[in-house]
């Protein structure tokens, strides 16, 4: 049994969905579980809608209409107007209609998950209908009834025993009869509310389902030839890895490499399932295999750049040394606000922490820290991480920039820069 994950770029338009079907046709002799992300930039669009609704802005219905028109345009390119999928999509949009009728009363994170999750419900309805239309027998599955999480909205924590039991009870029988198409990124609570698993979490969904089913492999289909040593949008002469160890892949994703969601690798490593990263426009290409690679040589450094970073410095109000108790307080506040630390450094009198700026979380974090500490920060920064680096490359990448924080170890260098 194989698990395929198709990201938003691979299903951004009608041609992409047709290409997905061509890829799937190559594997009709296999049992296939297909995990699909929201189409194109739908998640971004739904995030804008969520912000507008939560803040009761004037453009709520305009933003919503853009999302609807985008999906209906794709529908009309793929299907005759009488196809049942039009009703399925309309009924899915009703989940947003119900929310927008009333003023927001719940927390931002709860509202985010209920609205943004609709992107995956829409994409999978359309993909499932198209596969059946071209003769590939397919069944739509609502993953929210199978991946069970707690109530940590936007970062749902998976209840593995309950999830494993649900998946193993139903999916093997379904997969024996047809292809199964389901949503990435989503989970469900015991109260039947939707949660999401973290931004770009569809890879993690595929990993969870594969681990529960003891799949042969997971393939994530991307718009790149495999895992590269740097983002080709920003760096020339990138090289593709034919293989990577689970450990190296985890390190890369931890430091911010966006080709794979950070939580994806560990469940696959635990289950001994390889992860293949392959190009959806060239499905016969070898891509990159992530597994038990050993004694790997790195002739070129891995370069990871994260933008929109904040560097915050915290010190005691009485100007005393930073104690273990104060460090604990700072980490508690970070944890309460679900803000992940990218790099940190301590001195005698202060603690400096670099993290992604997520607006609604940053303001709350900053205000809480100010109650107990002196706080200063810089924003609009970049975090550059180098794996298997040479010092000359570090100098080259920081030339002309102001270095605000730098850490180096045997294998890894991290630099926070402005400019």
The dihedrals phi and psi of 260, each to the nearest 5 degrees, come to -140, 140
Confidence check: pLDDT of 179 > 90: yes
Q: Specify the pTM.
A: 0.93
Q: Is 7 one of the annotated binding-site residues?
A: yes
What tokens were used for 49? Answer: 């809608």
Give residue-wise pLDDT tens across range 126-160. Answer: 999 999 999 999 999 999 999 999 999 999 999 99
Residue 406 reports pLDDT greater than 80: yes
d(CA 129, CA 127): 5
Determine the pLDDT at residue 294: 77
Instruction: Tell whether residue 298 is among the known ligand binding residues.
Output: no
In our burial notation (b when 16+ CB lie closer than 10 A, e otherwise), range 319-340 reads: eeebeeebeebbeebbeebbbe
**Which pLDDT score is estimated for 259?**
87
What tens digit of pLDDT does each residue of 372-404 get?
A: 999 999 999 999 999 999 999 999 999 999 999
Where is 206: in which H helix or E strand? Answer: helix 202-213
**pLDDT category, 293, cuts 50, 70, 90?**
confident
Q: What stretches of 214-262 show up as alpha helix (H) in DSSP?
A: 246-254
pLDDT at 92: 98
360: confidence class by pLDDT, cuts 50, 70, 90: confident
Tell me the pLDDT tens digit for each residue of 256-267: 998 899 899 999
137 is in an annotated binding site: no
The rounded percent of the chain whose pLDDT value lies above 70 is: 100
pLDDT greater than 90 at residue 371? yes
Mean pLDDT of 217-235: 94
Q: Give residue-wise pLDDT tens across range 301-353.
A: 999 999 999 999 999 999 899 889 999 999 999 999 999 999 999 999 999 99
Instruction: Give the architecture (CATH level 2) of 302-418.
Output: 2-Layer Sandwich (3.30)
Mean pLDDT of all residues in the chain? 96
Q: What share of the chain is helix, strand, coil (3-state, %, to 5)?
A: 40, 25, 35
Check residue 322 and give its pLDDT.
86
Could you state, in order of their start, the residue ranges of all structural domains in the chain?
A: 2-291, 302-418
CB-neighbour burial class of residue 209 (10 A; exposed 0-12, middle 13-18, buried 19+) = buried
Task: Supply the pLDDT for residue 195.
Answer: 98
Looking at residue 126, its pLDDT comes to 98
Candidates 382, 285, 290, 368; CA nearest to 332 is 368
How buried is residue 227: exposed, middle or buried, by Cβ count under 10 Å (0-12/13-18/19+)? buried
Q: CATH fold of 2-291, please?
A: Carbamate kinase (3.40.1160)
Assign residue 84 a region: left if phi > 0, alpha if psi is -120 to 50, beta otherwise? alpha
In this predicted structure, what is the pLDDT of residue 13? 98
The sign of the torsion formed by the CA atoms of 12, 13, 18, 19 equals: negative
Residue 49 has, within 13 A of its CA and on its CB side, a CA count of: 27
Query: Which pLDDT tens digit goes with each residue over 88-113?
Result: 999 999 999 999 999 999 999 999 99
Burial category of 267 from C-beta neighbours within 10 Å (exposed 0-12, middle 13-18, buried 19 and up) = buried
Establish whether 120 is an annotated binding residue. Answer: yes
- DSSP-derived 3-state class of residue 104: coil
């Amino acid at each position: 049994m194989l698990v395929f994950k198709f990201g938003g770029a691979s299903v951004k338009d009608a041609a992409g969905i047709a290409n997905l079907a061509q890829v799937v046709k190559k594997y009709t002799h296999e049992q296939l579980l297909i995990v699909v992300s929201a189409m194109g930039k739908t998640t971004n669009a739904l995030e804008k809608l969520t912000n507008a609704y939560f803040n009761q802005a004037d453009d709520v219905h305009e933003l919503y209409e853009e999302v609807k028109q985008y999906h209906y345009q794709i529908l009309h390119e793929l299907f005759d107007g009488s196809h049942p999928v039009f009703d399925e999509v309309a009924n899915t949009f009703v989940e947003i209609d119900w929310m927008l009728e009333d003023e927001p009363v719940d927390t931002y994170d709860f509202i985010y998950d209920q609205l943004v999750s609709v992107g995956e419900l829409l994409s999978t309805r359309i993909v499932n209908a198209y596969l059946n239309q071209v003769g590939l027998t397919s069944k739509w599955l609502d993953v929210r009834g199978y991946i069970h999480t707690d109530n940590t909205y936007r970062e749902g924590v998976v209840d593995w025993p309950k999830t494993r039991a649900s998946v193993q009870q139903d999916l093997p029988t379904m997969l024996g009869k047809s292809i199964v198409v389901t949503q990435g990124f989503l989970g469900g609570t015991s109260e039947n509310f939707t949660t999401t698993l973290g931004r770009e979490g569809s890879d993690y969904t595929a990993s969870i389902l594969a681990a529960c089913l003891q799949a042969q492999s997971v393939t994530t289909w991307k718009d790149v030839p495999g895992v590269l040593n740097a983002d080709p949008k920003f760096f020339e002469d990138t090289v593709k890895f034919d293989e990577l160890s689970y450990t190296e892949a985890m390190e890369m994703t931890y430091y911010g490499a966006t080709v794979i969601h950070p939580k994806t690798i560990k469940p696959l490593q635990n289950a001994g399932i390889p992860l293949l990263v392959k190009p959806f426009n060239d499905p016969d290409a070898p891509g990159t295999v992530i597994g038990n690679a050993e004694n790997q040589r790195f002739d070129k450094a891995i370069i990871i750049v994260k933008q929109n970073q904040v560097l915050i410095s915290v010190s005691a109000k009485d100007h005393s040394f930073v104690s273990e108790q104060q460090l604990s307080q700072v980490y508690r506040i970070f944890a309460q606000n679900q803000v992940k630390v990218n790099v940190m450094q301590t001195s005698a009198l202060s603690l400096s922490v670099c993290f992604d700026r997520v607006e609604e979380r940053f303001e709350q974090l900053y205000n809480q820290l100010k109650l107990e500490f002196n706080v200063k920060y810089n924003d609009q920064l970049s975090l550059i991480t180098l794996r298997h680096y040479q010092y000359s490359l570090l100098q080259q990448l920081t030339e002309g920039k102001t270095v605000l924080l730098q850490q180096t170890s045997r294998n890894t260098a991290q630099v926070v820069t402005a400019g």
